[in-house]
Amino acid sequence: MLLGYQARQSNGVNDKIYHRIVAMDDGKTQFFIISTDICLVSPSQYDKLAARLKSQYKIDPMNLWWTATHTHSAPEVGPAGLPAVFLGDRYRHDFDAKYTDLVEQKLIDGIVTARKNLAPARLGVGWGHANANINRRARDENGKTTLGMNPDGPVDRRIGMLRLEKENGSLLALIANYAIHGTVMSGENLKISGDAPGVVSEYVEQKTGVPLLFINGAAGDIAPIYSVYPSPRAGHLDHFKVLLGDKILDANKSITATTNEVTLKTGGTIVETPRKDGLKWPEDLGNYTRTTKTGVNLVRLPIRFLKINQDVAIWSAPLELFCEISNEIRDHSPFPYTFYFGYTNGWLGYLLTEEELKYGGYEPTVSPYAPGAAKTLTEAVVNYIQGEMRSNYNNARKVE
């Protein structure tokens, strides 16, 4: 069963889907980032994986980030989680436990291999730019909003790049962070595919000979410029090799400075914000909600942070975030490279700005949050980046 759009069963494979894994170790902190060609997973599925890795391999869950590329043409993995609350009719079938176990075991095998293959490396960081995406909150003359194209709407076309080199300067791996829905193909497509993120990753890998981890960004209101077509050919899927793949290659070439002196610092915080009145909550997500003494039901959002040296701040959340929120956070960050890794460690719905809520449309119907959530999240993340992360940054400079 493919996840994304209506319930439907695949009838073949258009392109292969992967776990891509990078392990980094600075001598004190060992960190893992996984990019998987799936639509999303429930936070409870991440918790299950993290508990197993902690028990068997002593991996700190704080240092384990599992991201989904958000392709809408890959099989379901694990229980439905929060989507079943909004789209109950879609989830009348049981999830495929056998396939889920396969995905989990292959992920663990990959982490073990990555850890085993740790070798001295250098790291570089940079920016790129691609016009492969567009705001999808289309408006009519009355302000009614539907899924479509809005060329005048907010967008984020930056590519955040991390380059990993071997000691001799040859390429080891690339990480590219870009906001784009994995919806080149529509629900009419029944072929398994990584959609644009997957096709772009394979293209860059063919050109460079090393893995590319595609990490989706704040794509809640961002579509590919060709979107919801019935087949790869109709959707110009291969054109994204040029539209985005070549731009990633250009961004990689622009990174001319790398260092073998790397410090990794991880952290996290819980952001609590009221959820919609009357909204049911899945049993498997009990750790992600709380009821106050006054009877207010809260969503508990786990936000993770990674600081690399003195100039890179990465934050992640299990959210389908609107891009204007991550753009504002980046604008208020003291770090020259601030990246948002979306769809990380699960999915707890769309989180959109209060301004966009009044226009309605699809996204508010699959958001569990009451108005004001964007402001709460933005303030919490900016405060953490400007406060705790920057404090560590200043202390590190004093030590040097």
Which residues are annotated binding-site positions? 70, 181
Structure tokens at 243: 């539209």
Q: Assess contact for 321 and 351: CB atoms under 8 A.
A: yes
The span from the CA of 377 to the CA of 270, in Å, is 10
With a CB cutoff of 8 Å and minimum separation 6, the contacts of 19 are 34, 35, 36, 37, 103, 106, 107, 110
**Binding-site residue set for Zn(2+):** 70, 181
Structure tokens at 367: 């958001």
For residue 229, the surrounding DSSP H or E stretch is: none
Closest by CA to 314, choosing from 111, 63, 48, is 63
Cα atoms in the 13 Å half-sphere on the side-chain side of 327: 15
Structure tokens at 214: 């595609």
Structure tokens at 302: 């786990």
SS3 53: helix
Closest by CA to 184, choosing from 151, 220, 145, 222, is 222
With a CB cutoff of 8 Å and minimum separation 6, the contacts of 379 are none
Across the strands, what pairs with 316? 304, 341
293 Ramachandran zone, left/alpha/beta (phi>0; psi -120 to 50): alpha
Structure tokens at 289: 């909600």
**Burial class of residue 331, CB neighbours in 10 A (0-12, 13-18, 19+):** exposed
